[in-house]
Structure 1
């Protein structure tokens, strides 16, 4: 997941920002391979917490390249949020029920702010009955589909369609996994229990219920072998919350994922041994 070295060690500790505080000194900054650390932060979607931790230590002025990178990321995130809101508005006007997945929605749900998690795309879970209309709306909004087939045909073998416009990518999901039986939640169930989070000021968007969102996020990370440290970092929040852990393991029992969740708990303890742990 991370190479061995002081850059990876600092990134792992800084990754817990804003929920955790770390001590960073000017001497540490001076001895690091800053280019490597920036590359790792981008790769693992951890630029915001790295900058936040450096800034909280009063050392941001010593690393202007990091500040510039974070400013670019902030602008990109604002643009991403604006596109999300614009498409949700168009979906609503067309009668397409849609939930925002992962990305900024999960960031707001876990951290109370939408800018902690970096995301390369915008994910929507659409009412399957309206996926053709949702596809039309996205294309009419200037995005080009990645797969040159209809969403009806694609839905037989794939969980989503990807779209591109400039540097913005959208994934339109009609189910959470390619195999619906892997996590058999109906859209009606998720919509009926949806949560709302703020992306920009008072603008609220619908997303998965907290427990189901974290559970889905965990399975997503497991299926991808925890390729990005960001995904594992996110689980340190529910890992420290008794109610979250109780609900997550209840879902794990219901869907036969207890061994996978125990493995994830062990992995969390190995990567972040100093976080307070819920002992229940």
Structure 2
């Protein structure tokens, strides 16, 4: 789980970052090198682990291996509020997805939940251990993406813009008092790149998709092999 599918990124790292990466990956495997922490500033480690998306997982692993009480007090105190924040954000996102699922089901729209929010449901023991931001949904085609945007309107979501036909993604936001509280990315292709857009058909993905019981019947997730391919291709496109 620590590296998930695409792995922790080492691109553009400094020497200090490389040391933190080495310590962090070992700790997430259960090899907590307490002596090495003396050379790592707690605040830098917090920022690094948060940027890599493994901060809650690190705290959980330290507790599971019985090392949490042995790490510097400053690191303990720095970890706790960040983990609480991750739990609160996860509760909010899960609530949003549980509202979206029946809305899509009533509208007769097949939807696949993508990326971290989906992986968190079946790969991690607790979903807050896999931080995510946006809610990404894959729909069969552009028409269904537009229908999904309409189905989400009663929940407070509105399209941020109407993309051109060459764009495979629509963005709907739930804005309260001028502040965006949740973003819903509606994809009509698995990847927003013409070169890879049709590498998998929606029907192929749907046929192998898996249930996500905690979110309701209106949302399903990619199969492990398709989730792996998606994660790898996304990382390649980002680079």
Same fold (TM over 0.5): yes
What TM-score do the two structures reach when normalised by structure 1?
Answer: 0.68
**C-alpha distance in structure 1 between counterparts of 2:129 and 2:157, whole Å:** 26
Further displaced range: 164-173 or 97-106 = 164-173
Is residue 193 of structure 1 aligned with residue 208 of structure 2?
yes
Is residue 135 of structure 1 aligned with residue 149 of structure 2?
yes
| Cα-Cα RMSD | 2.4
Is residue 53 of structure 1 aligned with residue 66 of structure 2?
no
**C-alpha distance in structure 1 between counterparts of 2:72 and 2:158, whole Å:** 41
What TM-score do the two structures reach when normalised by structure 2?
Answer: 0.78
Unaligned residue ranges in structure 1 (runs of 5+): 226-280
Is residue 4 of structure 1 aligned with residue 18 of structure 2?
no
Contact 1:194 1:208 in 2 (8 A): yes
Q: CA deviation at 1:155?
A: 5.5
Q: How does 1:4-43 map to 2 (within 5 A)?
A: 4-5=15-16, 6-14=19-27, 17=28, 20-25=29-34, 28-29=36-37, 31-43=39-51
Q: CA deviation at 1:89?
A: 1.1
Deviations 1:123-156 (A, max 9, x none): 111121422211112233212333x22xxxx262
Is residue 158 of structure 1 aligned with residue 186 of structure 2?
no
Q: CA deviation at 1:121?
A: 1.1
Contact 1:87 1:138 in 2 (8 A): yes
In 2 relative to 1, CA 49–92 (structure 1 residues): closer, same or farther, beyond 3 Å? Answer: same
Contact 1:104 1:115 in 2 (8 A): no
Question: How many residues were matched structurally?
Answer: 213
**C-alpha distance in structure 2 between counterparts of 1:181 and 1:170, whole Å:** 24
Question: For residue 213 of structure 1, what is the aligned residue in structure 2?
Answer: 227
Contact 1:109 1:197 in 2 (8 A): yes
Contact 2:145 2:170 in 1 (8 A): no
Structure 1 residue ranges (4+ consecutive) displaced by more than 6 angstroms after TM superposition:
none
**C-alpha distance in structure 1 between counterparts of 2:234 and 2:154, whole Å:** 30
Contact 1:77 1:115 in 2 (8 A): yes
Unaligned residue ranges in structure 2 (runs of 5+): 1-10, 175-179
Q: How does 1:223-242 map to 2 (within 5 A)?
A: 223-225=237-239
Q: How does 1:103-182 map to 2 (within 5 A)?
A: 103-111=116-124, 113-128=126-141, 129-146=143-160, 148-149=161-162, 154=163, 156-165=165-174, 166-179=180-193, 182=196
Contact 1:98 1:125 in 2 (8 A): yes
Contact 1:157 1:178 in 2 (8 A): no
Question: For residue 257 of structure 1, what is the aligned residue in structure 2?
Answer: none
Q: CA deviation at 1:101?
A: 0.4
Instruction: Give the secondary-structure state (helix, strand or coil) at the position aligned to 2:132.
Output: coil
Question: For residue 77 of structure 1, what is the aligned residue in structure 2?
Answer: 90
Q: CA deviation at 1:37?
A: 1.4
Question: For residue 98 of structure 1, what is the aligned residue in structure 2?
Answer: 111
Deviations 1:23-42 (A, max 9, x none): 242x5445531111111122
